[in-house]
Amino acid sequence: MTATASDTSDAAAETAHFRFFELEVLRTRRLGHSFLRVTFGGESLADFRSGGFDQSLSLFLPPEGREHTVLPSTDEDTWFGAWRGMPDEDRPVMRSYTVREQRRTPEGVDEVDIDFVLHGDPAAAAADVAAPASRWAGRAVTGRRILAIGPAVAENKSVRFRPPATADAIWMYADETALPAAAAILERLAAGTAVRAWFEVPHEDDRLPLSTAAKADITWIVREDSGRERTDRVLEQLRSADVPTAEAPYVWLAGEAGTVRATRRHFVQERSVDRRSVRFTGYWRLGASEEELLAEAYAGQALSEEPTSEL
């Protein structure tokens, strides 16, 4: 199919929604057994425009032994090929994360919080066995700089939580990788919004305090030492839950891909939710690296409804 002038203009406008930002670590704070918050600053954040809710961005983390991220190109037309063409030992790791909060301090400093999951043992974040993003976060110190692709306009496709005005209830499922997004959503919901949510975490002290004006009923599903298959455990909790009747619920599901698919089937087939009212995103998949998932996305075999990187 030949692209028209209108198609080209639309594509250019879409791409202009995202750009590269340089983020500098300001501080870190441990939130629970599995969560570490990294607060970033940097002059370029003056142009950062998070759309809130489950706003995602792509981080480029330096390879082992490097302090800062370096890319051969940040041009919107050439960065991906240049990044993929880098030698393995030099190529920054690209990972998708959620903006937990964006703010400007009274001193005029622009800040962005991103919550990382520290996998496995508490010491694993600083060990070679940790996943790349977990390892980087566990070693993050003030002054370290990374690059990110993030939103330059607040109305952008990387905000996936979009309930219609007719929705009379919000139903949610999130595992630990999606909990920062779920927490950001809850903070932004209008007072009195009816919410039924199930949040799955690895450990008891990962049940983080959540602030919301919504009328939220939250069930925490703790995997600690359960020895059970995770999807079965989640489905059991969903099936046994007392969920208030709603005429037009909006369902938001995010986390491990297999569990997300199973929960989507539950809401559509067992609770008769219109599939068009279910927003689902696989943040990761058991047995697959994010590099494999990215390759699938760019090959048209996306894990979720949309590729995780938007630029």
Q: Does residue 40 sit within a domain?
A: yes
Same domain, 55 and 139: yes
Q: Are residues 186 and 133 both part of a single domain?
A: no
- The model's confidence at residue 224, banded by pLDDT at 50, 70 and 90, is confident
Residue with tokens 């990215």: 294
Spatial CB neighbours of 77, under 8 Å, sequence gap ≥ 6: none
Name every residue whose Cβ is closer than 8 Å to that of residue 259 and which is 6 or more positions away in sequence: 173, 175, 200, 230, 231, 234
AA identity, residue 302: A
Three state DSSP letters for the chain: CCCCHHHHHHHHHHHCCEEEEEEEEEEEEECCCCEEEEEEECHHHHHCCCCCCCCEEEEEECCCCCCCCCCCCCCCCCHHHHHHCCCCCCCCEEEEEECCEEEECCCCCEEEEEEEECCCCHHHHHCCCCCHHHHHHHHCCCCCEEEEEEECCCCCCCCCCCCCCCCCEEEEEECCCCHHHHHHHHHHCCCCCEEEEEEEECCHHHCCCCCCCCEEEEEEEECCCCCCCHHHHHHHHHHHCCCCCCCCEEEEEEEEHHHHHHHHHHHHHHCCCCHHHEEEEEEECCCCCHHHHHHHHHCCCCCCCCCCCCC
By CB atoms closer than 10 A (0-12, 13-18, 19+), residue 191 is: exposed
| Residue 196 located in a structural domain | yes
Q: What's the pLDDT score for residue 16?
A: 80
Please give the average per-residue pLDDT across 196-209, as a whole number.
96
Instruction: Tell me phi and psi for residue 93, to 5 degrees.
Output: -80, 125
User: Which pLDDT belongs to residue 44?
Assistant: 96
Instruction: Work out the average pLDDT over 261-265.
Output: 97
125, 151, 177 — which closes off a domain? 151
State residue 131's pLDDT score. Answer: 83
115 and 143 share one domain: yes
Please indicate, yes or no, whether residues 140 and 216 belong to a single structural domain of this protein: no
CATH code assigned at 283? 3.40.50.80
Is 82 a member of any domain? yes
Say yes or no: 145 and 238 in one domain.
Answer: no
Q: Is residue 106 part of a domain?
A: yes
For position 254, what pLDDT does the model report? 97
- Give CA–CA dist 247/254, Å, rounded: 23
Residue type, 199: F
For range 119-132, the mean pLDDT: 54
Residues 143 and 198 grouped into a single domain: no
Q: Are residues 135 and 234 in the same domain?
A: no
Length of the chain in residues, anyone?
A: 311
Residue 158 lies in a domain: no
CB of 218 within 8 A of CB of 199?
A: yes
Q: How far apart are CA 267 and CA 181, in angstroms?
A: 20
3 occurs within a structural domain: no
Our count of domains for the chain comes to 2
Do residues 177 and 89 share a domain?
A: no
Structure tokens at 301: 């075999």
Q: Looking at the structure, do residues 137 and 25 belong to the same domain, yes or no?
A: yes
Rg (CA), the chain: 20
pLDDT for the residue 65 = 87
If asked whether residues 203 and 235 sit together in one domain, one would say: yes
Q: Specify the range with the lowest mean pLDDT, choosing from 103-117, 154-168, 217-231, 287-301.
A: 287-301
The pLDDT score that the predictor gives to residue 130 is 55
User: According to the model, what pLDDT value does residue 231 have?
Assistant: 92
Q: Kindly indicate the confidence band of residue 205, based on its pLDDT and cuts at 50, 70 and 90.
A: very high
Name residue 269's amino acid: Q
Q: Residue 119: its pLDDT value, please?
A: 76
Does residue 189 sit in the same domain as residue 129? no
Q: Which domain holds residue 125?
A: 12-151
In a domain, 295, yes or no: no
- What is this structure's pTM? 0.86
User: What CATH number does residue 124 fall under?
Assistant: 2.40.30.10
What is the predicted pLDDT for the residue at 163? 97
Collect contacts of 299-306 with beta carbons under 8 A, ≥24 apart: 303/257, 304/257, 304/260, 304/280, 305/160, 305/279, 305/280, 305/281, 306/157, 306/160, 306/281
In a domain, 309, yes or no: no
Residues 19 and 146 in one domain: yes
